[in-house]
């Protein structure tokens, strides 16, 4: 074999390996290309679980509103905390009166919640809050009733004095869109989902005089049928963790992943997905630096930074609440300092900007898009290593040099 034939053979083998690699990863590569690239840092706080529940929430939201309103981006927009709203919770007194035999709920539309609704609506007017549908209850009531028959803690929760927070329920029981009375959980019937969704959307309208446009499932467990029911009620934006979990598995954890999604991806009904994958929970000891680093990474990848920050940071022991507010304020100071071009907006506004390919926010020039894509594909599991082995890393490196990556 001559040297030329030998070299020719090696080149063909390399080319073949690179082609196979590109083919094997074609989906992962193309979705990262199609995913919109943002031109500016976008940070949105997403705070779930507000609504029907402990009455101290009104004061807690007042405090949160005050902190957010202290900051402004260059366009004069304040940071936004989207509130994942819960519309009803157990009427523990009435349940107790029946010895726990019957379930009753109290809705957010009742007069006892007027101060809470007022602060939510005032925050929306001021631009610091936006309201998302999180669910009627933060659980599936029949599931809770079934579990209560054999679990004393759940029975006590349903018959608590006052209004208990759902945070103290076992995590798997906090999922609404699955029957977790036994694990692994079982799917709810389509009829049941459709019937309650109409009720949810209508009660949201009664409470806030507007229809919900954005939904986020409790504990990030939902199904295709839930998305369809949301669609029928006019919900066109779905907040996700980047994957759809459809049940709670045998250990109680979210499971049954049947779909992965990127920011801006549309489902078959045209509903748009956003990805919330940054976690900032001061009560768990998360520091401002952690949030800034996570935001830097999202900015580097041309992605928005949707930050999960639950209500539980801001209700309960005074010391914990004060610390959470202080840490949030420090985080906002650091974010503004790190990103002078930061843009604050609601998740709905972000979704609309993506849907309409708004040039003021979305990158449309190919060179910066390629630069961002090259960074994104390095993060595909196994791809960087295999591209080195196959030699694909060389042309990618050359493209990177050409676009200044």
Interface positions with Zn ion (CB under 5 A): 48-49, 218
Nearer to Zn ion, 139 or 339 (CB): 139
How many CA atoms, within 13 angstroms, populate the side-chain half-sphere of residue 91? 14
DSSP 103-151: --EEETTSGGGHHHHHHHHHHHHHTSEEEEEEESSSS-HHHHHHHHTT-
- In the complex, the smallest distance separating the C-beta of residue 390 from Zn ion, rounded to whole angstroms, is 44
37 alpha carbon, distance to own chain's centre:
19
Token pair in block for residue 178 = 């699955």
Nearer to Zn ion, 106 or 276 (CB): 276
Nearer to Zn ion, 78 or 218 (CB): 218
Token pair in block for residue 47 = 């705070």
Task: Give the separation between CA 68 and CA 79, rounded to whole angstroms.
Answer: 6
Task: Give the separation between CA 261 and CA 97, rounded to whole angstroms.
Answer: 46
Nearer to Zn ion, 49 or 200 (CB): 49
Token pair in block for residue 295 = 């935001």
Token pair in block for residue 300 = 């580097």
- In the complex, the smallest distance separating the C-beta of residue 280 from Zn ion, rounded to whole angstroms, is 15
Q: Are 133 and 215 in contact (CB under 8 A)?
A: yes
Nearer to Zn ion, 86 or 393 (CB): 86
- In the complex, the smallest distance separating the C-beta of residue 82 from Zn ion, rounded to whole angstroms, is 12
- In the complex, the smallest distance separating the C-beta of residue 134 from Zn ion, rounded to whole angstroms, is 6
- In the complex, the smallest distance separating the C-beta of residue 220 from Zn ion, rounded to whole angstroms, is 9
- In the complex, the smallest distance separating the C-beta of residue 132 from Zn ion, rounded to whole angstroms, is 10
- In the complex, the smallest distance separating the C-beta of residue 168 from Zn ion, rounded to whole angstroms, is 13
Nearer to Zn ion, 316 or 400 (CB): 316
Identify any residues that bridge with 405 across adjacent strands, giving them in sequence order.
Answer: none
* Upstream peptide bond of 99 is cis (omega within 30 degrees of 0): no
- In the complex, the smallest distance separating the C-beta of residue 290 from Zn ion, rounded to whole angstroms, is 21
Cβ-proximal residue to Zn ion, closest one:
48
Task: Give the separation between CA 405 and CA 401, rounded to whole angstroms.
Answer: 6
Task: Give the separation between CA 287 and CA 264, rounded to whole angstroms.
Answer: 29
Residues 6+ apart with CB under 8 A from 336: 71, 73, 342
Nearer to Zn ion, 48 or 233 (CB): 48
Q: Are 348 and 213 in contact (CB under 8 A)?
A: yes
Nearer to Zn ion, 159 or 218 (CB): 218
Exposure letters 381-404 (e unless 16+ CB within 10 A, then b): eebeebbeebbbbeebeeebeebe
Exposure letters 45-60 (e unless 16+ CB within 10 A, then b): bbbbbbbbbbeebbeb
Task: Give the separation between CA 83 and CA 46, rounded to whole angstroms.
Answer: 6
């Amino acid at each position: 074999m001559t040297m030329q034939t030998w070299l020719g053979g090696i080149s063909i083998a390399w080319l073949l390996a690179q082609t196979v690699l590109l083919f094997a990863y074609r989906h992962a590569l193309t979705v990262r290309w199609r995913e919109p690239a943002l031109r500016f840092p976008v940070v949105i706080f997403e705070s779930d679980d507000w609504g029907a529940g402990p009455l101290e929430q009104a004061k807690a939201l007042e405090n949160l509103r005050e902190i957010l309103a202290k900051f402004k981006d260059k366009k004069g927009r304040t940071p936004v905390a989207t509130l994942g709203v819960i519309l009803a919770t157990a009427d523990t007194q009435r349940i107790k009166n029946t010895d726990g035999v019957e379930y009753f709920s109290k809705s957010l539309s009742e007069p006892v919640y007027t101060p809470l609704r007022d602060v939510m609506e005032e925050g929306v007017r001021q631009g610091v809050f936006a309201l998302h549908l999180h669910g009627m209850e933060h659980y599936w009531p029949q599931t809770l009733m079934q579990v209560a028959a054999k679990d004393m803690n759940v029975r006590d929760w349903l018959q608590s004095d006052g209004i208990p927070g759902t945070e103290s329920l076992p995590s798997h029981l906090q999922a609404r869109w699955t029957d977790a009375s036994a694990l692994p959980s079982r799917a709810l019937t389509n009829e049941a989902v459709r019937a309650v969704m109409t009720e949810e959307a209508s009660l949201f309208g009664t409470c806030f005089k507007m229809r919900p446009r954005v939904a986020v499932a409790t504990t990030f467990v939902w199904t295709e049928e839930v998305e369809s029911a949301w669609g029928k009620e006019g919900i066109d934006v779905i907040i996700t963790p980047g994957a759809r979990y459809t049940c709670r598995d045998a250990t109680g954890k979210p499971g049954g992943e049947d779909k992965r999604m990127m920011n801006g991806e549309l489902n078959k009904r045209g509903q748009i997905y956003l990805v919330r994958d940054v976690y900032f929970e001061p009560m768990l000891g998360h520091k401002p630096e952690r949030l800034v680093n996570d935001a830097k990474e999202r900015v580097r990848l041309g992605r928005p930074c949707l930050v999960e920050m639950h209500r539980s940071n801001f209700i309960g022991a005074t010391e914990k609440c004060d610390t959470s507010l202080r840490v949030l304020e420090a985080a906002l100071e650091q974010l503004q300092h790190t990103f002078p071009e930061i843009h604050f907006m609601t998740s709905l506004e972000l979704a609309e900007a993506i849907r309409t390919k708004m040039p003021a926010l979305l990158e449309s020039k190919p060179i910066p898009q390629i630069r961002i894509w090259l960074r994104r594909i390095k993060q595909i599991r196994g791809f960087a290593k295999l591209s080195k082995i196959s030699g694909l890393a060389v042309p990618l490196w050359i493209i990177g040099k050409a676009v200044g990556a």
